[in-house]
Amino acid sequence: MSQRPWTSIFAARLRGACTRRILPVARSGWAGAVAAAWLAAAMAVAPLSGCGGGVGEGGTGYASGPITGFGSVIVNDIVFDDSLARVEDGDGGSRARSDLRLGMTVEIESDAIVGGGARASRVRFDSAIVGPVESLEADGFVVLGQRVAVDVTTVFDSAFAAGLPGVQTGQMVEVYGLYDAGLARFRATRVERRTALLAYRLRGPVSEIDERTKTLRIGTAQFAYGAAASTPADFAVGSFVRLFISTDPPGLAGRRQVLRFGEVQRPLLDIDGCSVKGHVTRFTSLSDFRVDGRPVDASAAVVNGGTVAVGARVEVSGSLRAGVLVATRVEVRSDQFERDRGFELRGPIDSVAADRTSMQVRGITVGLTRPPVYLNGSAAALAVGRSVEVRGEVSAGDGTRIDALVVRFR
Protein backbone atom coordinates (compact mmCIF):
# COMPACT_ATOMS: atom_id res chain seq x y z
CA MET A 1 0.00 0.00 0.00
CA SER A 2 1.05 3.56 -0.61
CA GLN A 3 2.62 5.25 2.41
CA ARG A 4 1.03 8.63 1.74
CA PRO A 5 -1.93 10.42 3.34
CA TRP A 6 -5.27 9.10 2.16
CA THR A 7 -7.03 12.17 0.80
CA SER A 8 -10.17 12.55 -1.25
CA ILE A 9 -10.73 8.82 -1.84
CA PHE A 10 -14.00 8.54 -3.72
CA ALA A 11 -14.77 12.17 -2.82
CA ALA A 12 -14.21 13.57 -6.31
CA ARG A 13 -17.72 14.87 -6.70
CA LEU A 14 -17.59 16.51 -3.30
CA ARG A 15 -14.43 18.46 -4.15
CA GLY A 16 -15.58 19.36 -7.63
CA ALA A 17 -19.00 20.66 -6.62
CA CYS A 18 -18.25 22.34 -3.34
CA THR A 19 -15.21 23.80 -1.67
CA ARG A 20 -12.75 21.12 -2.78
CA ARG A 21 -12.18 20.01 0.78
CA ILE A 22 -9.56 17.39 1.56
CA LEU A 23 -10.55 14.60 3.92
CA PRO A 24 -8.81 15.18 7.26
CA VAL A 25 -7.98 11.51 7.74
CA ALA A 26 -4.34 10.43 7.84
CA ARG A 27 -3.42 6.86 7.04
CA SER A 28 -2.16 4.94 10.03
CA GLY A 29 -1.65 1.30 9.20
CA TRP A 30 -4.13 -1.06 7.57
CA ALA A 31 -7.02 -0.21 9.89
CA GLY A 32 -6.53 3.50 9.30
CA ALA A 33 -6.55 3.03 5.55
CA VAL A 34 -9.78 1.04 5.65
CA ALA A 35 -11.42 3.60 7.94
CA ALA A 36 -10.38 6.46 5.68
CA ALA A 37 -11.70 4.69 2.62
CA TRP A 38 -15.06 3.97 4.23
CA LEU A 39 -15.42 7.56 5.43
CA ALA A 40 -14.55 8.94 2.00
CA ALA A 41 -16.98 6.58 0.31
CA ALA A 42 -19.76 7.72 2.61
CA MET A 43 -19.01 11.38 1.93
CA ALA A 44 -18.88 10.82 -1.83
CA VAL A 45 -22.54 9.82 -1.95
CA ALA A 46 -23.73 12.61 0.33
CA PRO A 47 -26.13 15.20 -1.11
CA LEU A 48 -24.28 17.87 -3.03
CA SER A 49 -26.99 20.23 -4.21
CA GLY A 50 -26.54 22.60 -1.29
CA CYS A 51 -22.89 23.31 -1.97
CA GLY A 52 -21.91 26.78 -3.03
CA GLY A 53 -19.03 29.00 -4.01
CA GLY A 54 -17.79 27.21 -7.10
CA VAL A 55 -18.77 25.54 -10.33
CA GLY A 56 -22.37 24.49 -10.50
CA GLU A 57 -24.74 27.42 -10.83
CA GLY A 58 -26.40 28.40 -14.09
CA GLY A 59 -27.20 26.74 -17.37
CA THR A 60 -23.86 26.35 -19.10
CA GLY A 61 -20.57 24.77 -18.08
CA TYR A 62 -16.98 24.51 -19.22
CA ALA A 63 -13.86 22.76 -17.96
CA SER A 64 -10.30 22.43 -19.17
CA GLY A 65 -7.49 20.27 -17.85
CA PRO A 66 -6.16 16.70 -18.02
CA ILE A 67 -8.50 13.71 -18.01
CA THR A 68 -8.08 12.00 -14.62
CA GLY A 69 -10.80 9.40 -14.94
CA PHE A 70 -13.47 7.66 -16.97
CA GLY A 71 -17.03 6.76 -16.29
CA SER A 72 -17.87 9.03 -18.26
CA VAL A 73 -15.03 11.63 -18.55
CA ILE A 74 -13.61 13.13 -15.35
CA VAL A 75 -11.81 16.49 -15.49
CA ASN A 76 -11.05 18.59 -12.39
CA ASP A 77 -13.12 16.09 -10.38
CA ILE A 78 -16.21 16.88 -12.46
CA VAL A 79 -17.91 13.86 -14.05
CA PHE A 80 -19.05 14.65 -17.59
CA ASP A 81 -21.53 12.37 -19.35
CA ASP A 82 -20.05 12.29 -22.86
CA SER A 83 -22.54 9.84 -24.37
CA LEU A 84 -24.02 12.51 -26.68
CA ALA A 85 -21.00 14.79 -26.96
CA ARG A 86 -19.16 15.68 -30.14
CA VAL A 87 -15.52 14.64 -29.71
CA GLU A 88 -12.93 16.47 -31.79
CA ASP A 89 -9.19 16.94 -31.99
CA GLY A 90 -7.27 20.19 -31.86
CA ASP A 91 -7.84 20.76 -35.60
CA GLY A 92 -11.61 20.41 -35.24
CA GLY A 93 -11.70 16.95 -36.83
CA SER A 94 -14.41 14.59 -35.62
CA ARG A 95 -13.12 11.79 -33.41
CA ALA A 96 -14.60 8.86 -31.49
CA ARG A 97 -15.17 8.73 -27.73
CA SER A 98 -12.80 5.76 -27.67
CA ASP A 99 -9.98 8.10 -28.75
CA LEU A 100 -10.04 9.79 -25.34
CA ARG A 101 -7.27 8.63 -22.99
CA LEU A 102 -6.15 9.21 -19.41
CA GLY A 103 -3.87 12.24 -19.15
CA MET A 104 -5.09 13.92 -22.34
CA THR A 105 -5.63 17.67 -21.95
CA VAL A 106 -9.15 18.61 -23.00
CA GLU A 107 -11.69 21.40 -23.18
CA ILE A 108 -15.26 20.38 -22.37
CA GLU A 109 -18.42 22.39 -23.04
CA SER A 110 -21.51 21.26 -21.19
CA ASP A 111 -24.81 22.14 -19.63
CA ALA A 112 -24.95 23.30 -16.01
CA ILE A 113 -22.43 21.62 -13.70
CA VAL A 114 -24.52 20.52 -10.73
CA GLY A 115 -23.51 18.16 -7.94
CA GLY A 116 -20.09 17.65 -9.50
CA GLY A 117 -21.49 16.42 -12.81
CA ALA A 118 -22.79 17.65 -16.16
CA ARG A 119 -23.79 16.55 -19.64
CA ALA A 120 -21.03 17.34 -22.15
CA SER A 121 -21.94 18.73 -25.57
CA ARG A 122 -18.38 18.98 -26.92
CA VAL A 123 -15.04 17.44 -25.90
CA ARG A 124 -11.93 18.76 -27.63
CA PHE A 125 -8.52 17.21 -26.96
CA ASP A 126 -5.22 18.70 -27.98
CA SER A 127 -1.59 17.99 -27.17
CA ALA A 128 1.16 20.46 -26.35
CA ILE A 129 4.04 19.05 -28.44
CA VAL A 130 4.47 16.63 -31.33
CA GLY A 131 7.98 16.00 -32.57
CA PRO A 132 11.21 14.00 -32.23
CA VAL A 133 12.99 13.44 -28.92
CA GLU A 134 16.22 15.40 -29.17
CA SER A 135 17.85 14.54 -25.85
CA LEU A 136 17.13 12.89 -22.51
CA GLU A 137 17.19 14.39 -19.02
CA ALA A 138 17.06 12.84 -15.55
CA ASP A 139 13.36 13.65 -15.13
CA GLY A 140 12.26 13.95 -18.75
CA PHE A 141 13.39 14.74 -22.28
CA VAL A 142 13.63 17.54 -24.85
CA VAL A 143 11.40 17.88 -27.93
CA LEU A 144 11.59 20.83 -30.37
CA GLY A 145 13.88 22.55 -27.90
CA GLN A 146 11.27 22.24 -25.14
CA ARG A 147 12.10 20.64 -21.81
CA VAL A 148 9.45 18.11 -20.86
CA ALA A 149 9.26 16.94 -17.23
CA VAL A 150 7.79 13.54 -16.35
CA ASP A 151 6.62 12.56 -12.86
CA VAL A 152 4.57 9.89 -11.07
CA THR A 153 1.31 11.29 -12.48
CA THR A 154 2.39 11.03 -16.15
CA VAL A 155 0.54 8.36 -18.13
CA PHE A 156 2.34 6.60 -21.00
CA ASP A 157 0.75 4.74 -23.88
CA SER A 158 1.50 1.07 -24.54
CA ALA A 159 4.60 1.87 -26.61
CA PHE A 160 6.31 3.01 -23.41
CA ALA A 161 5.34 0.32 -20.91
CA ALA A 162 8.41 1.05 -18.81
CA GLY A 163 7.56 4.75 -18.68
CA LEU A 164 10.39 7.26 -19.01
CA PRO A 165 13.15 4.59 -19.38
CA GLY A 166 11.42 3.52 -22.60
CA VAL A 167 11.82 6.94 -24.20
CA GLN A 168 14.86 7.27 -26.49
CA THR A 169 16.34 9.97 -28.69
CA GLY A 170 15.01 10.03 -32.22
CA GLN A 171 11.60 8.66 -31.30
CA MET A 172 8.56 10.62 -32.45
CA VAL A 173 6.32 11.49 -29.50
CA GLU A 174 3.14 13.37 -28.73
CA VAL A 175 3.09 15.09 -25.34
CA TYR A 176 -0.03 16.23 -23.53
CA GLY A 177 0.71 18.56 -20.67
CA LEU A 178 0.71 22.00 -19.08
CA TYR A 179 3.33 24.69 -19.49
CA ASP A 180 5.11 25.72 -16.29
CA ALA A 181 6.25 29.29 -16.95
CA GLY A 182 8.10 29.41 -13.64
CA LEU A 183 10.53 26.71 -14.76
CA ALA A 184 10.19 27.25 -18.53
CA ARG A 185 9.22 23.65 -19.18
CA PHE A 186 6.22 21.46 -19.92
CA ARG A 187 4.87 19.07 -17.30
CA ALA A 188 3.70 15.99 -19.16
CA THR A 189 0.36 14.45 -18.26
CA ARG A 190 0.47 11.88 -21.08
CA VAL A 191 3.13 10.69 -23.56
CA GLU A 192 2.30 8.78 -26.74
CA ARG A 193 4.42 7.34 -29.57
CA ARG A 194 3.82 8.77 -33.06
CA THR A 195 4.89 7.75 -36.55
CA ALA A 196 6.15 9.98 -39.37
CA LEU A 197 4.40 13.35 -39.60
CA LEU A 198 3.84 16.03 -42.22
CA ALA A 199 4.47 18.72 -39.62
CA TYR A 200 5.55 18.99 -36.01
CA ARG A 201 3.37 20.91 -33.54
CA LEU A 202 3.93 23.09 -30.51
CA ARG A 203 1.47 24.92 -28.27
CA GLY A 204 2.76 27.37 -25.68
CA PRO A 205 3.28 30.99 -24.59
CA VAL A 206 5.47 33.37 -26.56
CA SER A 207 8.23 34.74 -24.32
CA GLU A 208 10.04 36.83 -26.94
CA ILE A 209 9.44 38.25 -30.44
CA ASP A 210 12.13 39.71 -32.68
CA GLU A 211 10.44 41.71 -35.45
CA ARG A 212 13.74 42.26 -37.23
CA THR A 213 14.59 38.59 -37.67
CA LYS A 214 10.95 37.42 -37.60
CA THR A 215 11.62 34.95 -34.81
CA LEU A 216 9.70 34.02 -31.70
CA ARG A 217 10.74 32.17 -28.58
CA ILE A 218 8.81 29.49 -26.68
CA GLY A 219 10.58 27.95 -23.72
CA THR A 220 14.27 27.74 -24.56
CA ALA A 221 13.92 27.58 -28.37
CA GLN A 222 13.55 30.13 -31.15
CA PHE A 223 11.41 29.61 -34.26
CA ALA A 224 11.36 31.50 -37.55
CA TYR A 225 7.84 32.66 -38.45
CA GLY A 226 8.50 35.07 -41.33
CA ALA A 227 6.90 32.81 -43.95
CA ALA A 228 4.15 31.44 -41.69
CA ALA A 229 0.49 31.64 -42.64
CA SER A 230 -2.44 32.69 -40.43
CA THR A 231 -0.56 34.86 -37.95
CA PRO A 232 -3.10 35.57 -35.15
CA ALA A 233 -4.38 39.09 -34.60
CA ASP A 234 -3.35 39.04 -30.93
CA PHE A 235 0.17 37.77 -31.62
CA ALA A 236 2.34 39.33 -28.91
CA VAL A 237 4.70 38.48 -26.08
CA GLY A 238 2.66 36.57 -23.50
CA SER A 239 0.09 35.23 -25.94
CA PHE A 240 -0.43 31.49 -26.46
CA VAL A 241 0.18 30.19 -29.95
CA ARG A 242 -0.23 26.87 -31.72
CA LEU A 243 2.51 26.29 -34.29
CA PHE A 244 2.75 23.87 -37.19
CA ILE A 245 6.49 23.43 -37.76
CA SER A 246 8.45 22.11 -40.71
CA THR A 247 10.01 18.67 -40.32
CA ASP A 248 13.09 19.91 -42.20
CA PRO A 249 16.30 20.19 -40.16
CA PRO A 250 16.73 23.45 -38.24
CA GLY A 251 18.07 26.32 -40.32
CA LEU A 252 19.96 29.47 -39.41
CA ALA A 253 21.06 29.55 -35.75
CA GLY A 254 19.25 26.25 -35.14
CA ARG A 255 15.79 27.74 -35.70
CA ARG A 256 13.00 25.58 -37.03
CA GLN A 257 10.60 27.05 -39.59
CA VAL A 258 6.98 27.77 -38.64
CA LEU A 259 4.64 26.79 -41.48
CA ARG A 260 1.47 28.26 -40.03
CA PHE A 261 -0.33 29.24 -36.85
CA GLY A 262 -3.36 27.28 -35.65
CA GLU A 263 -6.27 27.96 -33.31
CA VAL A 264 -5.23 27.78 -29.66
CA GLN A 265 -8.55 27.95 -27.84
CA ARG A 266 -12.09 28.04 -29.16
CA PRO A 267 -13.76 31.43 -28.64
CA LEU A 268 -16.38 31.05 -25.92
CA LEU A 269 -19.55 32.96 -25.10
CA ASP A 270 -20.41 33.80 -21.49
CA ILE A 271 -20.54 30.64 -19.39
CA ASP A 272 -22.10 30.27 -15.94
CA GLY A 273 -19.82 27.61 -14.47
CA CYS A 274 -16.14 27.23 -15.38
CA SER A 275 -13.33 25.09 -14.00
CA VAL A 276 -9.89 25.66 -15.49
CA LYS A 277 -6.73 23.84 -14.50
CA GLY A 278 -3.27 24.95 -15.59
CA HIS A 279 -0.23 26.97 -14.65
CA VAL A 280 -0.16 30.72 -14.19
CA THR A 281 1.62 32.00 -17.28
CA ARG A 282 1.45 35.70 -16.47
CA PHE A 283 0.73 37.54 -13.21
CA THR A 284 0.18 41.22 -12.54
CA SER A 285 -2.24 41.00 -9.63
CA LEU A 286 -5.12 38.82 -8.45
CA SER A 287 -7.40 40.89 -10.65
CA ASP A 288 -5.19 40.40 -13.71
CA PHE A 289 -3.40 37.13 -14.42
CA ARG A 290 -3.55 34.34 -16.98
CA VAL A 291 -3.85 30.58 -16.74
CA ASP A 292 -2.64 28.85 -19.91
CA GLY A 293 -3.26 32.12 -21.71
CA ARG A 294 -6.82 32.64 -20.44
CA PRO A 295 -7.45 35.95 -18.58
CA VAL A 296 -8.53 35.58 -14.94
CA ASP A 297 -9.95 38.10 -12.46
CA ALA A 298 -9.71 36.61 -8.96
CA SER A 299 -10.03 39.90 -7.05
CA ALA A 300 -13.12 38.63 -5.22
CA ALA A 301 -12.10 34.96 -5.06
CA VAL A 302 -11.21 32.72 -2.13
CA VAL A 303 -7.61 31.52 -2.58
CA ASN A 304 -6.54 28.27 -0.93
CA GLY A 305 -3.42 26.12 -0.89
CA GLY A 306 -0.70 28.66 -1.54
CA THR A 307 0.27 31.83 -3.38
CA VAL A 308 -0.85 32.67 -6.90
CA ALA A 309 2.30 33.48 -8.89
CA VAL A 310 3.90 32.75 -12.25
CA GLY A 311 4.37 28.99 -12.58
CA ALA A 312 1.87 28.02 -9.86
CA ARG A 313 -0.42 25.13 -10.80
CA VAL A 314 -3.99 26.21 -10.09
CA GLU A 315 -7.61 25.17 -10.47
CA VAL A 316 -9.82 28.21 -10.98
CA SER A 317 -13.60 28.04 -10.54
CA GLY A 318 -16.02 30.77 -11.51
CA SER A 319 -17.85 32.12 -14.55
CA LEU A 320 -16.73 33.37 -17.94
CA ARG A 321 -17.74 36.93 -18.75
CA ALA A 322 -16.62 38.74 -21.93
CA GLY A 323 -13.70 36.34 -22.28
CA VAL A 324 -12.48 36.75 -18.68
CA LEU A 325 -12.76 33.99 -16.10
CA VAL A 326 -14.27 35.78 -13.09
CA ALA A 327 -13.14 33.52 -10.28
CA THR A 328 -14.94 32.68 -7.07
CA ARG A 329 -12.28 30.21 -5.95
CA VAL A 330 -8.63 29.56 -6.75
CA GLU A 331 -6.96 26.38 -5.51
CA VAL A 332 -3.16 26.24 -5.71
CA ARG A 333 -2.25 22.59 -6.31
CA SER A 334 1.01 21.08 -5.10
CA ASP A 335 2.76 18.09 -6.63
CA GLN A 336 1.77 16.04 -3.59
CA PHE A 337 -1.88 16.94 -4.08
CA GLU A 338 -1.73 15.74 -7.67
CA ARG A 339 -0.17 12.45 -6.57
CA ASP A 340 -2.81 11.95 -3.90
CA ARG A 341 -5.65 12.77 -6.28
CA GLY A 342 -4.65 9.93 -8.58
CA PHE A 343 -7.00 8.52 -11.21
CA GLU A 344 -10.53 7.17 -11.13
CA LEU A 345 -12.23 4.54 -13.27
CA ARG A 346 -15.92 3.64 -13.19
CA GLY A 347 -17.62 0.90 -15.14
CA PRO A 348 -17.90 -2.86 -15.62
CA ILE A 349 -14.85 -5.10 -15.37
CA ASP A 350 -13.72 -6.10 -18.89
CA SER A 351 -11.48 -8.98 -17.80
CA VAL A 352 -9.70 -10.43 -14.75
CA ALA A 353 -6.26 -12.06 -14.89
CA ALA A 354 -6.21 -15.74 -13.97
CA ASP A 355 -3.89 -15.04 -11.04
CA ARG A 356 -6.08 -12.05 -10.03
CA THR A 357 -3.10 -9.70 -10.00
CA SER A 358 -4.77 -7.35 -12.49
CA MET A 359 -7.99 -6.57 -14.31
CA GLN A 360 -9.17 -4.40 -17.17
CA VAL A 361 -11.68 -1.58 -16.65
CA ARG A 362 -12.69 0.58 -19.60
CA GLY A 363 -9.79 -0.89 -21.55
CA ILE A 364 -7.22 0.17 -18.93
CA THR A 365 -5.07 -2.33 -17.05
CA VAL A 366 -5.55 -2.03 -13.29
CA GLY A 367 -2.93 -3.64 -11.03
CA LEU A 368 -4.20 -5.37 -7.88
CA THR A 369 -0.93 -6.37 -6.23
CA ARG A 370 -0.65 -3.52 -3.68
CA PRO A 371 -3.24 -4.90 -2.52
CA PRO A 372 -6.14 -2.41 -2.69
CA VAL A 373 -8.83 -1.78 -0.11
CA TYR A 374 -12.10 -3.41 -1.23
CA LEU A 375 -15.42 -1.75 -0.41
CA ASN A 376 -18.80 -3.54 -0.56
CA GLY A 377 -17.04 -6.80 -1.37
CA SER A 378 -13.69 -8.59 -1.58
CA ALA A 379 -11.21 -9.79 -4.18
CA ALA A 380 -13.33 -12.89 -4.57
CA ALA A 381 -16.11 -10.74 -6.05
CA LEU A 382 -13.99 -9.64 -9.02
CA ALA A 383 -15.75 -10.89 -12.14
CA VAL A 384 -16.27 -9.83 -15.73
CA GLY A 385 -19.24 -7.49 -15.95
CA ARG A 386 -19.21 -6.53 -12.26
CA SER A 387 -19.49 -2.74 -11.92
CA VAL A 388 -16.72 -1.09 -9.92
CA GLU A 389 -15.21 2.25 -9.02
CA VAL A 390 -11.41 2.25 -8.86
CA ARG A 391 -9.15 4.89 -7.35
CA GLY A 392 -5.48 4.43 -8.12
CA GLU A 393 -2.19 5.85 -9.31
CA VAL A 394 0.24 5.28 -12.17
CA SER A 395 2.34 2.16 -11.57
CA ALA A 396 5.95 2.88 -10.68
CA GLY A 397 7.13 0.10 -12.97
CA ASP A 398 4.64 0.38 -15.82
CA GLY A 399 3.57 3.83 -16.98
CA THR A 400 0.59 2.39 -18.87
CA ARG A 401 -1.00 0.73 -15.83
CA ILE A 402 -3.00 2.12 -12.92
CA ASP A 403 -2.31 0.44 -9.56
CA ALA A 404 -5.54 0.27 -7.55
CA LEU A 405 -5.60 1.76 -4.06
CA VAL A 406 -9.34 1.31 -3.58
CA VAL A 407 -11.85 -0.87 -5.43
CA ARG A 408 -15.49 -0.22 -4.67
CA PHE A 409 -18.16 -2.60 -5.94
CA ARG A 410 -21.33 -0.93 -7.13
In this prediction the pTM is 0.87
How many other C-beta atoms are found inside a 10 Å radius of the C-beta of residue 297? 17
Rounded distance between C-alpha atoms, residue 373 and residue 378, angstroms: 8
Cα(110)–Cα(188) distance, integer angstroms? 26
Looking at residue 111, its amino acid is D
Which residues are CB-contacts of 109 (< 8 A; sequence separation ≥ 6)?
A: 60, 61, 62, 120, 121, 122, 268
Reported as type and span, the H/E element at residue 161 is none
d(CA 150, CA 4): 20
Q: Are 124 and 106 in contact (CB under 8 A)?
A: yes
Pairing of strands 129-137, 172-180: antiparallel
Q: Which residues pair with 389 in a beta bridge?
A: 346, 408
Apex 117 CA angle, 286 and 373, nearest 5: 100
| Nearest-angstrom CA–CA distance, 278 and 289 | 12
DSSP string, 228-289: -B---TT-STT-EEEEEE--SPP-GGGPEEEEEEE--S-----EEEEEEEEEEEEEEETTEE
264 exposure class (CB count in 10 Å sphere: 0-12, 13-18, 19+): buried
Task: Return the closest-CA partner of residue 216 out of 200, 230, 233, 235.
Answer: 235
Residues 6+ apart with CB under 8 A from 279: 178, 179, 180, 181, 182, 187, 291, 292, 311, 312, 313, 314
Contact predicate 345/401, CB 8 Å = no
Per-residue pLDDT tens, the chain, 410 aa: give them: 334 433 444 443 334 333 333 333 333 343 344 435 444 443 443 332 333 334 444 489 999 999 999 988 999 999 999 999 999 999 899 999 999 999 999 999 999 999 899 999 999 999 999 999 999 999 999 999 999 999 999 999 999 988 999 999 999 999 999 999 999 999 999 999 998 889 999 999 999 999 999 999 999 899 999 999 999 988 999 899 999 999 999 988 889 999 999 988 878 899 999 999 999 999 999 999 999 989 999 999 999 999 999 999 999 999 999 999 999 999 999 999 999 999 999 999 999 999 999 999 999 999 999 899 999 999 999 999 999 999 999 998 889 999 999 999 99
Domains of the chain, each with CATH number or no CATH: 60-112+267-336 (2.40.50.140), 129-262 (2.40.50.320), 345-409 (2.40.50)
H or E stretch covering 46 = none
Nearest C-alpha neighbor of 321 from the set 283, 269, 265: 269
| Residue 341 to residue 262: CA distance in whole angstroms | 33
The percentage of residues in the chain with a pLDDT greater than 90, rounded to a whole number, is 77
Tens digit of pLDDT for each residue in 135-179?
A: 999 999 999 999 999 999 999 999 998 899 999 999 999 999 999
Main-chain dihedrals φ then ψ at residue 253, nearest 5 degrees? 60, 25
**C-alpha to C-alpha distance for 145 and 202, rounded to whole angstroms:** 10
